[in-house]
Copies of this chain bind each other. A is one copy, B any other.
């Protein structure tokens, strides 16, 4: 049983951890959903040594493990959600770290000039970077993930089983469809392998159950993927 701590009310970066936990049926408690954001802030203050920089983090025996990619690396090894040989394990981690980079750029689209300020205070700047993001960064990242998904002979990113990174591909597609529905309509023609993985992950029993439950929050404009129609375009 793991204690997962993440901001309640959004999918955010925490969702990249929730999905493989749910897919594998690993028991976890989504602490701040039960106890609220104040409990999360209070919990973060209890670690004198090795505190998390930011949620999400897993709490185990009084220790916190933060950073999505590190959490997934750990869960991957502990629960066989990743291949065991070093080359494949590092490759999968590399894919996940590229997700981290992509998510940081997604965040920059709606917060280009102030991570602590409201979107409404930086709309002209967001319009400017959104155009580059749609035209250049989305095709570049999605093209790279598509290659990762397509160059392997099996159905999944690697091996003949889903891994945590397959779950991340699912979440990227979900998030981008919400954030940029018009742009994704154009780009989806070029990412058949990613869409195949998206469909397969959606059919994993644990994911089906999760997405049908109220544990899966809807996307909203407080999370990482935010739908502001003015930032979208074909």
| Interface stretch of the complex, out of A33-41, A125-133, A176-184, A196-204 | A125-133
**Contact partners of A136 in chain B: CB under 8 A:** 116
Q: Is the CB–CB distance between A129 and B100 below 8 Å?
A: no
| Interface stretch of the complex, out of A16-24, A69-77, A160-168, A217-225 | A69-77
Q: Which chain B residue shows the least CB distance to A61?
A: B87
Task: Output the least CB separation between A41 and chain B (Å).
Answer: 14
**Contact partners of A49 in chain B: CB under 8 A:** 147, 151-152
Task: Determine whether A101 belongs to the interface, using a CB cutoff of 8 Å to chain B.
Answer: yes
Q: How far is the CA of A48 from the CA of B151 in the complex (A)?
A: 8
A96-108 near B? 1/0 per residue, CB < 8 Å: 0110110011001
Q: Which chain B residue shows the least CB distance to A102?
A: B53
On chain A, the number of residues with a Cβ less than 8 Å from chain B's Cβ atoms is 45
Q: Which chain B residue shows the least CB distance to A69?
A: B97
Main secondary structure of the interface of A (DSSP, over half): helix
Task: Determine whether A91 belongs to the interface, using a CB cutoff of 8 Å to chain B.
Answer: yes
**Contact partners of A94 in chain B: CB under 8 A:** 65-67, 70
* A144/B70 contact (C-beta < 8 A), A87-B63, A113-B125, A117-B132 known: no
Q: Is the CB–CB distance between A100 and B98 below 8 Å?
A: no
Q: How far is the CA of A90 from the CA of B76 in the complex (A)?
A: 13
Q: How far is the CA of A136 from the CA of B115 in the complex (A)?
A: 10
**Contact partners of A114 in chain B: CB under 8 A:** 128-129, 132
Q: Which of B51, B108, B132 contacts A116 (CB 8 A)?
A: B132
Chain A contacts to B: CB under 8 angstroms? 48-51, 53, 63, 65-67, 69-70, 73-74, 77, 86-87, 90-91, 93-94, 97-98, 100-101, 104-105, 108, 112-117, 125, 128-129, 132, 136-137, 141, 144, 147-148, 151-152
